Amino acid sequence: MKRFNLALGAVLIAAGFTSCKDEKKEMAKTEVDHYVVYVDSINDLDAAERAANWAAIDAEYQRRVTEAEAALAALENDADAQKRVNDSKAKYDGVKAQAETQAKAEAVAASGNGLADTLFGPGNVVGNDMTFAWVNKDNILSVYQKFYETFDAEKNEYTRQDLDKVKAWYEALDARKNTVEKEGLSADDNRKIAGIKLKFAPKFRWERMTAKGEENQDAKDKAN
């Protein structure tokens, strides 16, 4: 009888251990479920709402992904659970990229003319006609200097569309220079502007060429 009781006790302990282990796995699966559902809920949000609340969304995401990764350890190499977490991580990365892009675009829009403001300074209206009426013999050198220095510092960030705008504005500024020369532009300022133009031209050609090449490669990659 004693031997039977010992054997029964061992069975009960093993059953209890198994039950506890199964319970932990079920809880772990639930954590994975919560993580996947949360990422799906982010993806379903309106883009504007998502961008407006991104800090809180990301903070909550970091908590949930940490819990999901801990749950994976408890699930002991559960391939299905691992795949679900990996898929949700990829989905979140895509949503995060969209939110950051939108936030950047909104920041640029809020700044007024965006790209034009960075190249010519806030308040210096370029306008659709690009007459540069505010540029005169006294400030044209500083306008060229700011334009070139900003372009040189940020050229690696420009898209091909940005570079198209830069080209149009640069040509319009040059057209304005022809007028300003007749209004008394000093020889010294004219010489310095020529030096700026000499530095700008090859850098712009290179950036335009590489941007076009990258665009073509992206198109090929998408086609494949």
Q: How long, in residues, is the chain? A: 224
pTM, 2 dp: 0.48
Break the chain into its structural domains and give their ranges. 2-110, 115-223
Digit-coded pLDDT (tens) for 77-119: 788 888 998 999 999 998 888 887 777 656 555 544 678 888 9
The closest of 124, 119, 204 to 163, measured between CA atoms, is 204
State the Cα–Cα distance between residues 135 and 179, nearest whole angstrom. Answer: 10
**Residue numbers in the chain where pLDDT is lower than 50:** 1-18, 111-112, 219
Q: Between the CA of residue 53 and those of 56, 92, 105, 107, what are the distances in Å?
A: 6, 15, 16, 15
Phi-psi region of 158 (alpha: psi -120 to 50; beta: other; left: phi over 0): beta
**pLDDT for 12:** 39
**pLDDT for 49:** 82
CA angle 108, 110, 113 (to 5 degrees): 60
**pLDDT for 37:** 92
Digit-coded pLDDT (tens) for 124-139: 767 767 889 999 999 9
